[in-house]
Amino acid sequence: MKTDRRTFLGLGVSALASAGVLPLFALDDRQPWYEPEVSGDALLDQPILDGFKPTVLELKVGAKKPFEMLHISDSHLVMLGSDDFARADKKDIAYFRTRLKVFGFPKNVEMFAAALVYAKAKKLPILHTGDLLDFVSEGGLAKVRRDMAGREWIYSIGNHEYSGTAKPSPKSEWLKDARGRMEKTFPNAIPCAAKVVNGVNIVTIDNVGMSKDMFEAQFAAIKKEFAKGLPTVLAYHIPFYTPELAQHSVDVIQTTPNHWARNAVKSVADLHSGWLAACPGKGDLKINKTLVEWLPKQRNLKALLCGHKHFEFHSQFCENVTQYVCGATFNGNAYHIRFM
């Protein structure tokens, strides 16, 4: 039987000592790096999971066999490496320090770690619907590569990976190069990617603008996935407008003390693409304006999964299809989804 430190101590030090099997270091409290690796159900007792509170969902999507995933979103990791600081000016460094405060460092890092520990304990693949990084940096990407190495995960890009600082987001001529550099770290193509699990096609797309230079190719790729005829779950970052979600968004802004947008967003009419995709009568990316009309006609669309809002919410997107907004990982939120 494999005995970790907790089990070892529970057996009784004196009993083991009398049997002559007590190692010389057993009575010492050791630095974490020297501890035996914790695995299995014991991971669920680790203190890092304090404050991590996934919501369990059961989605009937027509799976050949039930399967589960952990849906997380909006981790907002604020990370820079020495190479990032080497190219940063005073404005960049000031912004970095501000963002550390905004996302309550180190809670954002701790809750991201908690999500990974939970997924490991439950043996769950991960779906992340964007804003894993608060802004793209070499330090941030290095952390993603390190923490996600060997894990089964899929990803849809967030607006903060596309445009995460006060400086301009990538121009059209930069986008192809930017996608290529980011795709070396993330597990799938940014414009559109798919993974079939037990007969269900989980399709991730970019609806934040990193692929705005290739609308025709992106939309063609999305249509190709739906044409497979499989039950399809679509995952992306910014939720599509629904009347219920729009009103709830306004309510949250108006009832949150000192919310930065309280004076700018007083009614649903004040919402725009920065808040929800395809707001009626407002401008947006061509892909969002196209999909909001096209998706309701796809009979094999079974569910929509997204993030961006930092709160949990679900509402009807179209007949028989619900859009599920995942809460923010930096707040300890997640969806533990069982697909049926």
Per-residue model confidence as pLDDT tens digits over 18-53: 444 545 445 578 898 898 889 899 999 999 999 999
Contact assessment for residue 230 and residue 200, using Cβ atoms and an 8 Å cutoff = yes
Residue 257: asked if its preceding bond is cis (omega within 30°), the reply is no
- pLDDT surpasses 80 at 271: yes
CA dist., res. 90 & res. 99, Å (int): 14
Instruction: Pick the more confident residue, 2 or 109.
Output: 109
Domains of the chain, each with CATH number or no CATH: 1-33 (no CATH), 59-339 (3.30.750.180)
Q: How far apart are CA 329 and CA 107, in angstroms?
A: 10
Q: Which residues contact 257 (CB under 8 A, 6 or more apart)?
A: none
CA 271 to chain centre: 23
In this predicted structure, what is the pLDDT of residue 7? 45
Q: 337, 202 in Cβ contact below 8 A?
A: no
Identify the band that residue 60 occupies on the pLDDT scale cut at 50, 70 and 90. Answer: very high
Mean pLDDT of 169-178: 91
Average pLDDT over residues 292-312: 98
* Backbone torsions φ then ψ of 25, nearest 5 degrees: -95, 0
Q: Is the pLDDT of residue 63 over 60?
A: yes
Identify the top-confidence range among 6-10, 24-28, 256-260: 256-260
